[in-house]
Amino acid sequence: MSSISEFVEDTKSQAVDELSDLLRIPSVSTVSAHDSDCRHAAEWIEQYLKRLNFSRTELKADENHPVVWGVGPNAPGKPTVLVYGHYDVQPPDPLSLWESDPFTPTVRDGKLYARGVSDDKGQVVAVLKGFEAAVRNGEVPVNLRVLIEGQEESGGEVLFGLLEREPELTEADVVVVSDMAYYLPGYPAVYTGLRGICYAEITVRTAKADLHSGAYGGVAPNAHEALLRILAKLKAPSGRIRIPGLYDLVERPSKQILNGWKSLPFSETKFRKHEVRSRALTGLSRYTVLERLWALPTFEIHGISGGFTGEGAKTVIPSEAMAKVSLRLVPRQTASKVLLLLKKAVRELAPSYADVDIRSIHSGDPVLVNTDAPVFESLSRAFVEVEGRAPVLIRSGGSIPIVPELRKRGATMILTGIGLPDDGLHAPNEKLNLDQFYKGMEVFGRFFELLGEA
């Protein structure tokens, strides 16, 4: 048994207790009612870094969603590793679908259930525990820098501002982002790209106020009808998004990349039945499911509000309707350009009698990263030792807004993770398998050790 795995064996139940303390803090960044909880989560992490003998810790840039900054114990001559993660989480609703309270971490069947356990608190703790394991015998393997933000789930504005003012915070040889999942159980992954996102709110107004649907029905314009017509026209039944210009910059991955994806174990039926849990998969059927997920843009309607949806019936013609929508973006597209295309398309589709307002809520650009630097060898070795398999190279359909900015700064960017695809990110009953958490501590511990030896 290596000293790392001994450490994990001896401390794993304490690690779960510590993680559970962090999970009890409802640090939802998307609604202001949780501002003080976000701050509290940041303070918790800062205290945790202090326990790890960090030489400097600071809460930076914002009262409500501070960025946790930390400098680990000094390791002269060793590489500098920047660990990025986020302590904020998505809202837990619908609450009624949770089997246990989202902020009361609960173990069932070897899985820890709580909002944020896989995305991203459990992963942040696993990396830091790995570091703790690797320094235990007195020698510090790497110069660790920690940058944990509290707005990843809401666009990352605070961190963008901070890095503009203090670019030196990101000086490092390697950046580690553990906010993703294995490809499949037993198949660790290193990510070569993330999609971007352009999230917007579309509001349609058709009259000064709501109207009696008997007195005015037949002549008065209906805001919901106008909005729905617009939305329905934005995507063809084939799955093709009808925003002129949207596909112009989409570049098909090379044959070599596509062949790599084709060689991954993948069962469309299993994926549909166990992950998507639907009767069918939709989208552009000319492309494989993985290509649709990783290399093509999307358009989704997240929710529609306005008008009457209360108990009973109310005969009213709504004068205003609002939809939250987003597009996922692929390499070469940019969020700012796509927002303009969306605005133009919506305005053109809107009936002349409707006032349409499109407001950006947040955005992030897509990113591709190289995975040929020597540090990937160390990570690969760590995964082989712990999991028995080297990571597969894949992309993610999800987004992490700050990653393109971090990548620009020159350090080698490692995108990986210890979750599993069925962890239920952003959904009810989010979980992290405890053995993934323990393996994660071990993988990162070995990774830091190997980096220190290199």
Tell me which residues touch ligand BES (CB under 6 A). Answer: 119-120, 152-153, 155, 179-181, 197, 362, 364, 396, 398-401, 425
398 in helix, strand or coil?
coil
Residue whose CB is less far from ligand BES, 227 or 400: 400
CA distance 93 to 26: 12
The listed partner (Zn ion, ligand BES, none) that binds 141, CB under 5 to 8 Å by sort, is none
The listed partner (ligand BES, Zn ion, none) that binds 178, CB under 5 to 8 Å by sort, is none
Residue whose CB is less far from ligand BES, 148 or 181: 181
CA 260, 285, 424, 175 torsion-angle sign = positive
N-to-C CA span, the chain:
21
H and E: helices and strands count for the chain: 12, 18
Q: Strand 392-396 relative to strand 316-317: parallel, antiparallel, unpaired?
A: unpaired
CA distance 233 to 388: 49
Name the phi and psi angles at 65, rounded to 5: -130, 60
The listed partner (ligand BES, Zn ion, none) that binds 117, CB under 5 to 8 Å by sort, is none
CB 120 → Zn ion: shortest distance, Å?
4
CB 182 → ligand BES: shortest distance, Å?
11
CA distance 402 to 364: 7
Residues 6+ apart with CB under 8 A from 4: 130, 133, 134, 442, 445, 446, 449
Name the phi and psi angles at 421, rounded to 5: -60, -25
Q: Strand 298-306 relative to strand 320-329: parallel, antiparallel, unpaired?
A: antiparallel
CB 180 → Zn ion: shortest distance, Å?
8
Residue whose CB is less far from ligand BES, 306 or 404: 404
CB 181 → ligand BES: shortest distance, Å?
6
Residue whose entry in the numeric block shows the structure tokens 């961190």: 159
CA distance 133 to 419: 20
CB 231 → ligand BES: shortest distance, Å?
20
Q: Which residues bind Zn ion (CB under 5 A)?
A: 119-120, 179
Give the closest residue to 317 by CA, choosing from 209, 202, 228, 229.
209
The listed partner (ligand BES, Zn ion, none) that binds 396, CB under 5 to 8 Å by sort, is ligand BES
204 in helix, strand or coil?
strand
- For the chain, the 3-state helix, strand and coil shares in percent, each to the nearest 5, are 35, 25, 40
The listed partner (Zn ion, ligand BES, none) that binds 197, CB under 5 to 8 Å by sort, is ligand BES
The listed partner (ligand BES, Zn ion, none) that binds 420, CB under 5 to 8 Å by sort, is none
* Residue number of the CB atom closest to ligand BES: 398
Cis peptide preceding 94, ω within 30 of 0: yes
CB 207 → ligand BES: shortest distance, Å?
34
Residue whose CB is less far from ligand BES, 45 or 425: 425
The listed partner (ligand BES, Zn ion, none) that binds 425, CB under 5 to 8 Å by sort, is ligand BES
CB 155 → ligand BES: shortest distance, Å?
5
Cβ-contact 174, 273 below 8 angstroms: no
CB 120 → ligand BES: shortest distance, Å?
6
Residue whose CB is less far from Zn ion, 120 or 387: 120
CB 364 → ligand BES: shortest distance, Å?
5
Residue whose CB is less far from Zn ion, 90 or 206: 90
The listed partner (Zn ion, ligand BES, none) that binds 111, CB under 5 to 8 Å by sort, is none
Residue whose CB is less far from ligand BES, 152 or 405: 152
Structural element, H or E, at residue 11: helix 3-23
Residue whose CB is less far from ligand BES, 8 or 159: 159
Give the closest residue to 293 by CA, choosing from 371, 389, 380, 181.
181
Residue whose CB is less far from ligand BES, 159 or 346: 159
